[in-house]
Structure 1
């Protein structure tokens, strides 16, 4: 299996509505996956709840990777995500991400910090909604 990256993962999770969420998660995230966003830890089950909620809020969007580095099982990037919600509201979030990859190329652990660049102040919590 080829190692995943944040672009493929987010596109499948958020911007490919015809792809089932379980399939998208299995494709990019190891069974023991865990994530820390802005200091809050989530296990894989909690991450799936988060993605379920985001899918219910987001109509479409795109992302842009500004920096991306790999070193063996380590992965890091800086990217921005632009989402349009079903109510038409647009939010742009900058993300600094550090990750560990599983031997099969999927994400095992992600630690990220997010910053709302533009949008409604409530959208600053999109990285943590459940």
Structure 2
């Protein structure tokens, strides 16, 4: 199992690699994600990540807690996001997931709080 820190870094900061290629390394084809109550499948997640990549300049990832127990996964992390327009956000996320036998993510359920924002 790869750390979510690595997954997030590859998805958000290493933009030379296509989103779909990064996702194929870390998520099963039937992957589903619920963020703040809304479910998305693999295709929708890829589309959202592509859109997010175009709106950000960089992301600093701070992993506060990370735990695996068999195929169960949980973490708490903070993202400091520098937007392309010069603004920034700090977002804290609580993540619960399930891993496939091969260590890739099958499902993630996440709640995200914006803890601070700044304007240009």
What is the TM-score with the length of structure 1 in the denominator? Answer: 0.88
CA root-mean-square deviation: 0.9
1:32 Cα shift? 0.6
Match of 1:40 in 2: 38
Instruction: List per-residue Cα deviations over 1:18-77 (Å, max 9, x = no partner).
Output: 122111111111111000000000011110111011001011111101111110001100
After TM superposition, the runs of 4+ consecutive aligned structure 1 residues lying more than 4 A away are none
Match of 2:56 in 1: 58
Unmatched tracts of structure 1, length 5 or more: 121-130
Unmatched tracts of structure 2, length 5 or more: none
What's the secondary structure of 1:103's corresponding residue? coil
- Considering fraction of residues, name the structure with more strand: 2
Which of 70, 73, 96 in structure 2 is aligned with 1:72? 70
Instruction: List per-residue Cα deviations over 1:77-124 (Å, max 9, x = no partner).
Output: 00001111111111110000001001111111000000001116xxxx
1:17 Cα shift? 1.3
Question: 1:84 and 2:56 equivalent?
Answer: no
